[in-house]
Structure 1
Amino acid sequence: MAIKQDYFDTAFELLSEQGYSALKQATLCKRLRVTTGSFYHYFENWHDFTSQLLEHWRTARTTQLVETAQQHGDPIEQLETLLQFALDLPHRAEAAIRVWSKVNPDVRAVQEAVDAQRLEVVLSATRTIFDDEGEALHHARWGLYLLAGYQELDSGEDPAALEWVLRRLIRELEEKSREKSHVSPI
């Protein structure tokens, strides 16, 4: 018998393999080799399932990230943690969720919340590097744009490419951080 987590894991597999249009109750149950009765043991209906799936994704892939990154006092260590996190994301599934969010307002709301949370955690790190709020925000957005663009264009096919571009961003931020720490107050 499948447990609730199995439904979420299998849903992410379907999203990764075939996109959001493949995410159907019958396909999910068939992949898990369970009956629809088993499905209804955990979920009231399909909307309940997709709501819980998206909440699980938001919590597991963003809220926990924020908590982990904030454990580091150094902004560069925070950014390194974020980079490792970004490399481990299920990019094809996230790309499918981004497509899904274009046609479903409930999914769009969760996607926007995830992007906002991710932006905020990067912004928290860049604020300690830049005295200018606008500059900190531009650099934080840069990181999010790299991630979202990678998911849209590569869908996780070349994680080395994502690592390369994110490391370039971190290198620039490290340089700015060193410059800031070497400037003595007058």
Structure 2
Amino acid sequence: MTKPINPKPPANSNAKSTREDWLNLALDTLISDGVENVRVLTLGQKLGVSRSSFYWYFKSRQDLLDQLLEHWRDTNTRFILEHAARPSATVVRGVMSIFECWIDERLFDPRLDFAIRAWAHHSGSVRRIIDQADDERVAAIRDMYLRHGYSDEDAFVRARILYFMQIGYYSLDLHESMSSRLSLVAAYLRSFTGQEPTKDDIADMARYASEANARTR
């Protein structure tokens, strides 16, 4: 029977790092330098600890990589699915709920998403995981449109436009101030829904963006 991974090192291990230290450094390295640089020896040197500390928390490098993928699934994909599934009085409010993921990087980290996509260029299994995540995200957004009375085809196409436009926005590395983005939010909502947002809709979106921006300071 496999020994469970303990949350803390044994008292005599002299380890100075925690599991979270390893994971956070591995995530930072994945984002900044690519998966090929997520290596036990390199991470240990940066943390100033021995390899034995790593093997207390992880079975292998592959175990660490699997947990990085799990972290990505449990943040970037999970929050899109949850926000798309929220009850909404109007389709405009439904799209606004999804917009929250694009505004708050605690809900969707574009740098992490594209680090995983870059990893997928060299791994068929990761490519399949990315494809599945994209399908799940689009399906969740499609279901939101369906709940508001759109046809199957219209809901699917609108979901693809909303989702892949945002992914393309990130891939082009466009830089816009939040004020510039908010100045166009009414037009975006009209484009994605075919309906006119209210003044309250726009005000609530601006309020959420302001609060999200304050949290990142």
Q: Normalised by the size of structure 2, how large is the TM-score?
A: 0.68
Please point out which of 104, 123, 139 is paired with 2:158. 139
Residue from 20, 24, 38 that aligns with 2:39 = 24
Checking the alignment, whether the CA contact within 8 Å between 2:40 and 2:61 is kept in structure 1 is yes
Q: What do the CA deviations read for 1:41-98 (whole angstroms, capped 9, x no partner)?
A: 1111111111111012101222244234423333433322221212313222221211
Instruction: Verify the 8 A CA contact 1:83 1:163 in the aligned structure 2.
Output: no
Q: Radius of gyration: which is bigger?
A: 2
- Quick one: structure 1 residues 39 and 160, their matched pair in 2 at CA, closer, same or farther if it must change by over 3 Å? same
**Residues matched between the structures, number:** 177
Question: Which is further off, 115-124 or 21-30?
Answer: 21-30
List alignment gaps of at least 5 residues for structure 1.
Answer: 179-186
Q: Post-superposition shift, 1:160?
A: 4.5
Partner of 2:125: 106
The C-alpha deviation readout for 1:105-160, integer Å capped at 9, x for no partner, is 22112212221221122112222345321111111011221232123221x75574
Q: TM-score, normalised by structure 1?
A: 0.78
1:86 aligns with 2:102: yes
**Residue identity matched to 2:52:** G
Q: Specify which structure has the higher proportion of helix.
A: 1
Match of 2:86 among 56, 63, 71: 71
- 1:2-13 matches, cutoff 5 A: 2-13=17-28
The one-letter code matched in structure 1 to 2:163 is L
Between the aligned residues of both structures, percent identity stands at 24
Establish whether residue 39 from structure 1 lines up as the match of residue 18 from structure 2: no
Q: 1:28 to 1:114 in 2, by over 3 A?
A: farther
CA distance in 2, matches of 1:82, 1:27: 38
Distance 1:104 1:176, change over 3 A: same
Distance in 1 separating the partners of 2:123 and 2:177: 28
Do the aligned residues in 2 keep the contact of 1:16 with 1:96 (CA within 8 Å)? yes
Measured after TM superposition, the shift of residue 161 of structure 1 is: 10
1:60 equivalenced with 2:79 (yes/no): no
CA gap of 1:68–1:128, structure 2 versus 1, over 3 A, is closer
Say whether the 8 Å CA contact 1:129–1:136 is kept in structure 2: no
Query: What 5-or-longer segments of structure 2 have no aligned partner?
Result: 1-15, 198-217
Q: 2:145 is matched with which residue: 122, 126, 129?
A: 126
CA distance in 2, matches of 1:161, 1:31: 38
* Letter of the structure 1 residue corresponding to residue 28 of structure 2: E
